[in-house]
Homo-oligomer: A and B are copies of this chain.
Amino acid sequence: MNYKNFFWNIILLSSTLAFSIILPLNFIFHFRHDENLVLILRTIDVIFIADIVFTGWKYYSKTNEFFFEQGTGIRRYLSTWFIIDFISIIPILFIADNSFWGMIRLIKFFKLIQLMKLYKNREIRIAGVLSFLYFGFWFIQISHWLACGWLYFKGYEANLTHSDNYVRALYWTITTITTIGYGDIVPSTTAQMIYVMAVEIIGVGMYGFVIGNVANILSKKDPSKQQYQNNLDNLTSLIRLRKLPVELHQKLRDYYTYIYYQKFGYDEVNFINKLPKSLSSEVSYYIKKDLISKIPIFQEASREFVEGISLHLKPVVVVPNSYVFKEGDVAEEMYFVVSGKLKVLIDSDQKEIAELNDGDFFGEIAIFENIKRTASVKAMTYCDLYILTKQQYSKVTFKYPAIARLIEAEAKIRKDKL
């Protein structure tokens, strides 16, 4: 994020907003000769003129927010946003300050809407907050203009102050567009009735649109939470149909909860698969880097190897007291322990020959020889493992024979131990 640009855009937005708030009030309450107001309007003029200079400079120095869509360069500017920027200062040039044509400055909103959308798409971490502000902004604008319209048609009551008159009109507007309609303030002339109909149709629609969008933002769930909820729903439905023992459905619930809080392997596979090859290996690398670096034999490996291997490691979770594999099973993959504690058992699980912890790997004999498992491995706690199958192992070691030799050496030592 370019903070200089961002700061300027905030100034620009504030002044346009101020102008759009003042403009209709000006028409109704005839502030024409108020000195403060004239000062504000002159300041806005200066900001708008400065914006042309600043935007031109941004295009020239290629720090323009829109560069992605539109390219850069002064020429580019002159043929695109300059037109809007220029139109918005016409009223200043011709000093037609309070007339109807002063409204032309509102064209600046087009640029600001584009900028708001841009920031919403770009600052994806705070996209929700920005959407919220965006709709809040529109809600205030619409309410204000509709309230001013009502003051115009209804006429303001002379015995009330300006602000009381305005609050009354705004109160009527909000009461109407939320479809509450108390009926304490109602139209009396035909013109007023026509205005009210317009507010009822358009205002209610716009209010509903804004509310609907805000509701969408609020109800947008974290996808991992949504998946958790779905898993629990399916579990609930299964429990209703089939009589599973209470311990088993607690076990299942705990498994889903574990997955949800650890988020190990969550959705990564899908996300990574949709990316082009170069990006997928990079993302995969950064996600698994910390985990892979715990595994001793990979610590000396080159980044290229880790990238290569990380693309092929498939995350898997093992629940406590269950077997990763059993003595005699067909051996097709090796495992890396990311976290958790496992036991290696032989002689029908009667003898424990080793304990495995974070950073250990096991089952590697299966990768080199076509034999059955010579021992069982049982998880003591929830274990996050990475699986590497025989086929994928060959693919990676084919490229990086040095690391392959290292693993094979370690494997031989272990096998001899047995």
Contacts and interface: CB of A to CB of B under 8 A. Distances in A.
Contacts of A214: 205
A237 interface: yes
A379 B57 CA distance: 31
Contacts of A201: 174, 178
Contacts of A223: 233-234, 237
Interface in A225-252: 228, 232-245, 248-249, 251-252
Interface in A96-123: 121-122
A268 interface: yes
Interface stretch (A20-28, A42-50, A80-88, A314-322): A314-322
Contacts of A257: 68, 121
Interface string A286-319: 1100000000000000000000000000001111
Contacts of A122: 253
If over half of A's interface residues share one DSSP class (helix, strand or loop), that class is named, otherwise mixed; here it is helix
A272 to B, nearest CB: 9
Contacts of A209: 215, 218
A155 interface: no
A184 interface: yes
A107 to B, nearest CB: 23
Interface string A143-174: 00000000000000000000110011011001
A171 B197 contact: yes
B180 A179 contact: yes
Contacts of A233: 223
A142 interface: no
Query: Which size class do A's interface residues fall under?
Result: 35 or more
A276 B318 contact: yes
Nearest to A139: B201
Contacts of A38: none
Contacts of A258: 68
Interface of A: 68-69, 121-122, 124-125, 127, 163-164, 167-168, 170-171, 174-176, 178-184, 186-187, 190, 193-194, 196-197, 200-201, 204-205, 208-209, 211-212, 214-215, 218, 222-224, 228, 232-245, 248-249, 251-255, 257-258, 261, 263, 266-268, 271, 275-279, 282-283, 286-287, 316-319, 322-323, 328, 379, 399
Given A205-B215, A278-B318, A279-B319, 15 more contacts: A122-B253, A124-B236, A124-B239, A167-B193, A167-B194, A171-B194, A222-B240, A223-B234, A241-B266, A242-B286, A244-B283, A245-B286, A252-B279, A255-B275, A278-B379
21 contacts: A68-B257, A124-B236, A124-B249, A125-B239, A164-B190, A167-B190, A167-B194, A171-B193, A175-B197, A178-B204, A205-B211, A209-B218, A241-B263, A241-B266, A244-B286, A251-B279, A252-B275, A276-B322, A278-B322, A278-B379, A328-B399
